[in-house]
């Protein structure tokens, strides 16, 4: 199994705006100095959708759930939800790192999924 990457965002040192790590300057104030912020703990489900016509990489699944979550420190993430039943916005989830599919060239793809807390 692959080693999980940490979920990292950037926090602007000038205005405190949180943004994805790939941006070179702050989307709010345009400054270029950041602190790295790591997502940790549980998160809440902000919104979700059930894909009933998944792309070819997910051909082994008739459908799956894709959701947007927010961690306690404000970091947001997009990923699959491990279940389709009893979902509601605001529910608490935890990130789990696992295989999500095989690419079209049959390479395994790993990422974070989000599992409801029990």
pLDDT in tens, 21-30: 899 999 999 9
Give tens-digit pLDDT for 43-98.
999 999 999 998 888 888 899 999 999 999 999 999 999 999 999 999 999 999 99
More confident residue, 114 or 1: 114
User: Residue 1 above 70 pLDDT?
Assistant: no
Question: Average pLDDT, whole number, for the chain?
Answer: 92
The pLDDT-based confidence of 2 (bands split at 50, 70, 90) is low
Strand boundaries in the chain, DSSP class E:
8-12, 18-20, 34-38, 43-51, 64-71, 76-81, 92-102, 108-116
pLDDT of res. 89? 96
* Pairing of β 108-116 and β 76-81: parallel
More confident residue, 106 or 79: 79
At which residue do the structure tokens 């912020």 appear? Answer: 37
Q: What is the pTM of this model?
A: 0.83
């Amino acid at each position: 199994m692959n080693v999980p990457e940490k979920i990292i965002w950037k926090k602007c040192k000038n205005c405190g705006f949180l943004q994805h790590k790939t941006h070179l300057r702050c989307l709010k104030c345009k400054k270029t100095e950041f602190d790295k912020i790591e997502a940790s703990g549980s998160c809440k489900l902000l919104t979700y959708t059930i894909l009933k016509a998944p792309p070819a990489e997910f051909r082994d699944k008739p459908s799956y759930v894709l959701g947007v979550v927010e961690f306690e420190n404000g970091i947001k993430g997009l990923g699959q939800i491990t279940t389709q039943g009893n979902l509601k916005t605001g529910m608490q989830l935890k990130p789990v790192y696992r295989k999500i599919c095989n690419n079209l060239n049959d390479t395994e793809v790993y990422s974070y999924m989000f599992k409801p807390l029990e």
